[in-house]
Amino acid sequence: MRINYPGTIRIIRLPCTGKVDVIHILRAFEKGADGVYVVGCLEGECRFSNGNLRAKKRIEQAQQILDAIGIGGERAQMYNLSSADGPRFAEYAVEMTEKIKKLGPNPLKKAKEKMAA
């Protein structure tokens, strides 16, 4: 379908969102990512039965930690769609990009700049 979406995202492939670990998400923020989102099958339609529901819980957990440490839980998101839903994939990319732009860069970047100054 070749629908344009913002060039802000880089995809990391996993067999199932059930494989996404809280540590993967936190590490990305530690290394300076401004946002992380996980895209899985629609709820109830997981290829591996319930991996996406487990991922959802882990994202929520990661959000709590991110809130607690001041990075902000909103920077981590979970989306669900079917593999035939290209337009929605693009919509989510736009939505996430806009959200992150509003939130600004990862606070760790500012902290680092301050320290350098």
Partner 1 sequence: MESIEGEPGDFKVTLTSYPRYIDPIKCTGCGECAKRCPVTAINMYNLGLDDRKATYIEYPQAVPLAFAIDIDTCIGCGLCEMMCLAKAINYEDNEKKSTICVGAVILSPGSEGFDPSGMDVLGYGKFANVVTSEEFERILSASGPYRGHLMRTLDREAPKKIAWIQCVGSRDVNLCGNGYCSSVCCMYAVKEAMIAKEHSHDDLDCAIFNMDIRSFGKDYEKYYNRAKDEHGVRFIKSRVHTINEDSTTGDLVIRYTDESGQTNEETFSMVVLSVGLQIPESVTALARRLDIELNNYNFAVTDPFAPVNSSRPGIFVSGVFQGPKDIPGSVTEASAAACAAGTKLAEARGTDTKTIEIPAEIDVLETETRIGVFVCNCGINIAGVVDVPAVADYAATLPYVVFVDQNLFTCSQDTQDKMKEVIKENNLNRVVVASCTPRTHEPLFQETLQACGLNKYLFEMANIRDQDSWVHANDPEAATEKAKDLVRMAVARAGLLKPLKEKKISINRRALVIGGGVAGMNAALGLADQGFDVVIVEKEAQLGGLSRDLTVTIEGADIQRYLLELVDRVTGHEKIQVLTESLIVGFSGFKGNFTTEIMVGPGMYERKIDHGVVILATGANEYKPEEYLYGQDYRVVTQIELGKRLEVKGADDISKVVMIQCVGSRNEKNQNCSRVCCQSAVKNALHIKEFNPDAEIYILYRDMRMYGLLEDYYTEARQQGIIFSRFSQDNPPNVEATDEGIAVTFKDHILQRDISITADLLALSAGMVAEDTEELASILKLPRNEEGYFIEAHVKLRPVDLANEGVFLCGTAHSPKLISEAISQALAAASRATIFLSQSEITLSAVTARVDPDLCAACLVCVRACPYEVPRINEEGVSEIDVALCHGCGICAAECPAKAIELDWYEDDQVMSKVEALLEGVL
Binding residues for partner 1 (CB under 8 A)? 1-5, 7, 10-16, 18-21, 23-24, 27-28, 31-33, 47-51, 54, 58, 84-88, 90, 108-109, 112
Q: What backbone phi and psi angles, to 5 degrees, belong to 20?
A: -70, 130
Q: How far is the CB of 67 from partner 1 (least distance, A)?
A: 20
Q: Between residues 19 and 101, which has the closer beta carbon with respect to partner 1?
A: 19
Please name the amino acid found at residue 73: G
Q: Tokens 């882990």 correspond to what residue?
A: 58
Which residue, 73 or 89, has its beta carbon nearer to partner 1? 89
Q: Please name every residue paired with 36 in a beta bridge, in sequence order, or none if there are none.
A: 76
Distance CA 38, CA 17 (A): 7
Shortest CB 109 distance to partner 1, Å? 7
**CA 61 to CA 80: how far, in whole Å?**
18
Please, what is the minimum distance in Å from the beta carbon of residue 22 to partner 1?
Answer: 8
